[in-house]
Structure formats: structure tokens, C-alpha cells
Amino acid sequence: MAFNCEVCKEEITEKENNYSTKNCGRPLCRKHQHTKNNSMSKKDMYSKENMIKGRIAETLIEELFLYLGYNVFRYGMENTVPGVMGLLKGVRSDVADNIRRMPDFVIQSNSGENKGEVYFIEVKFRASEEFSIKNLPKNYPFENCYFILVSKKHIKCISYKELQAGKVISPKSQNYLGSRKEFALDKKVIIEFCNFAVKFFENV
């Protein structure tokens, strides 16, 4: 099993990992074990918190589609090559940008009129329940992507083409995931998963 420093991502030994976890509260290389004040900054804490919320939302949607009989494949480069996002930190290039923008999932329908159809899915958590084209980088490369927004109360969905046309997700919008004809999902099941979201995010 490989161990890595949480700060610089360098590989560390098992002994270093065990020592650092016991004395610093997290895995660190020798250099960062001795860095003054190993506690995370407010910015780092905020970033970690948002990452955790996003992963919970991704797992919720992954389990929803699996439950409904879809084939679900994790697609983002972070899933394909763990640690790659850390390596790309600060790197500015078209290739790096496209890697960062890769959708979270590829899903495939196993039944209904759209049996066999394949879709790109990007999952977002937004406590504000707001999402628009402004939230995406310019020249977003995955034009056939669907964005699923998980909030404290609802699970909504919008396509990239709809975002381009000026449509948005807002607290008052009616673009619920269960209403998407492409996916033909069971609304009762989605309501159950919405209840899960409420449990996870009610204090966010």
C-alpha cells in the first residue's frame, strides 16, 4: 500500500505515515512534519469541506442511477488516475484544463425507449440551489453533458445546451431530475434519494 504526504503528495514510508498520523493528525513527509503549524488554513478547510460535499453528492447520484438499473462508470481523471489533480495544481494549459473539466460519470440506460443510450453526467452540490452558464469555464468541451445539482431539498438537472440557451437552475425552477425524459426515472425513488440529501446536508 502506498502512502503519500497530504501537503506535497510525495510518497512516504509506512513508518513516516504512522508517526505523522499519530503526532500531526495526518500523513505528512518529514519536511512538512516540521513545518510550523500543521493545521489547515481557513482557505484549505473551506476547500476540503466543499470537496467532501461534492463527493457525497456524487455518491448519492451514483447510487441513484445504479439502483434504477443504469450502468454507471466513474469518468473524471481523478478517478482514472488518482492524484493527478494534485499534480496539475498550478499548471495552465489546454490539456490540463480539459482534464479538470472532465465529467464525473458516464451512464448507460438498460431499459425503456432510450436503452443503450450513453450520457455524460457532472454532479454539483449547491446549498443555494443555483447554477448557470456563469458557473462553467469558457469553452467548456463536453457539450453533451448533463449537470445534476444536489441541494438541501431537491435534485435538479439541466443540460449544457440549455445552459447555453440561457436557462438556469434556481430555487424556483422546475427542472427536476425526475422530469427528464432522457432518463425516464422513477420519481418515487428520486424522492427517497432527496430525503437522503436532506439528512446529509440539512446543517450545511
Return per-residue pLDDT of the chain as tens, 204 residues. Answer: 788 888 888 888 988 888 888 888 888 888 888 765 555 566 667 777 888 888 899 999 999 999 999 999 988 666 555 554 455 455 455 655 666 678 999 999 988 788 889 999 999 999 899 999 999 988 888 999 999 999 988 999 999 999 999 999 999 999 999 999 888 888 899 999 998 888 888 776
Put residue 180 in one of left, alpha, beta given phi > 0 → left and psi -120 to 50 → alpha: beta
**What does the pLDDT read at residue 8?**
84
Whole-structure pTM value: 0.71
* The predicted structure's pLDDT at residue 78: 60
Neighbours of 189 (CB within 10 A): 13
The third-level CATH classification (topology) of the domain covering 42-201 is Trna Endonuclease; Chain: A, domain 1 (3.40.1350)
d(CA 70, CA 63): 10
Determine the pLDDT at residue 22. Answer: 82
Enumerate the domain spans of the chain.
Answer: 1-39, 42-201
Please report the pLDDT score of residue 97 as a whole number.
63
